[in-house]
Amino acid sequence: MAVAHGSRDPRSAAAVAELLAAVRARRPDLDVRGAFLDLSRPLLADVLDAARGPVVVVPLLLGRAFHARVDLPGLVEAAQRRNRGLSVRVAGVLGPDARLEAAALRRLSEAGVVPGDPEVGVVLAATGSSHPPANARVHEIARRWAGSFGWAGVRPAFASATTPDVPSAVAALRARGAARIAVASWFLAPGLLPDRVAAQAAGAVVAAPLGAAETVADVVVDRYAEALGSGALTA
């Protein structure tokens, strides 16, 4: 059971469906289903209520922010209270994982941004969280990229909940001498927040979200396997 956040934007659910199709192609032996925490259907609570047999829940979340630490465990616990026979194991979130970074860099390359261009400043744009460790992961990736790819600079930016925002990151890169700005997407799927980032970075090259990149599908499969291998499913 792969669980995404959910969005009112239908492009988000379509991107999740495409990702799950890639997961099924890798593991045709598995019954792979999708659900959402909120805003999209089917909701995880409804799917768990209808579940028969053991379930491994794989969060399609890039980091351990509020949804991973609070929302998802709460929904699973509530479902198990309603159905005492329900066996569930919750896998780890997708990140951190070097394969996610590879997917983000590939999306940037597809947008025409290549390593080694000293005139390009890169904004690594993410959702943002009130949980500092989740934001720290994005800062770590930006620092690693800044030291590895020869751009004019790399700055993290967040669409909500924390700073710096995208305009601040763009201004910092301009101050470092960046003649052009590119935005790398640390989002799984299209939606309100990626659109906000693109609007705030008007005139920049904006990479697509990670979506159904092959490496992302590989991470989903591995999180399932890790959860299944960590012990018996529990009711």
pLDDT in tens, 95-127: 999 999 999 999 999 999 999 999 999 999 999
pTM for this model (two decimals): 0.94
Q: Which tokens belong to 31?
A: 């019954």
Measure the CA–CA gap between 32 and 57, rounded to whole angstroms: 10
Residue with tokens 């500092």: 132
Burial class (CB in 10 A: 0-12, 13-18, 19+), 14: middle
Q: What is the mean pLDDT of residues 176-190?
A: 98
Q: Which tokens belong to 30?
A: 């598995």
Of 3-17, 64-78, 132-146, 207-221, the one with minimum mean pLDDT is 64-78
Q: What residues does each domain of the chain span?
A: 2-95+214-229, 98-206
Q: In sequence order, what are the residues at sequence separation of 6 or more whose Cβ sits closer than 8 angstroms to the Cβ of residue 7?
A: 13, 39, 40, 189, 191, 192
**Residue 10 pLDDT exceeds 60:** yes
Q: What is the mean pLDDT of the chain?
A: 95
Domain 2-95+214-229 and domain 98-206, same fold? Reply is yes
Tell me how many degrees the CA angle 201-98-206 measures, rounded to the nearest 5. 15
- The per-residue pLDDT for 39 is 94
How is the beta sheet containing 153-158 ordered, strand by strand? 153-158, 120-126, 180-186, 205-206
For residue range 58-98, what is the model confidence (pLDDT) as tens digits?
999 999 988 899 999 999 999 999 988 899 999 999 999 99
Domain 98-206 has CATH 3.40.50.1400: yes
Of 30-34, 64-68, 77-81, 217-221, the one with minimum mean pLDDT is 64-68
CATH architecture label of 2-95+214-229: 3-Layer(aba) Sandwich (3.40)
Nearest to 196 by CA among 219, 221, 165: 165
- The per-residue pLDDT for 230 is 65
Length of the chain: 235
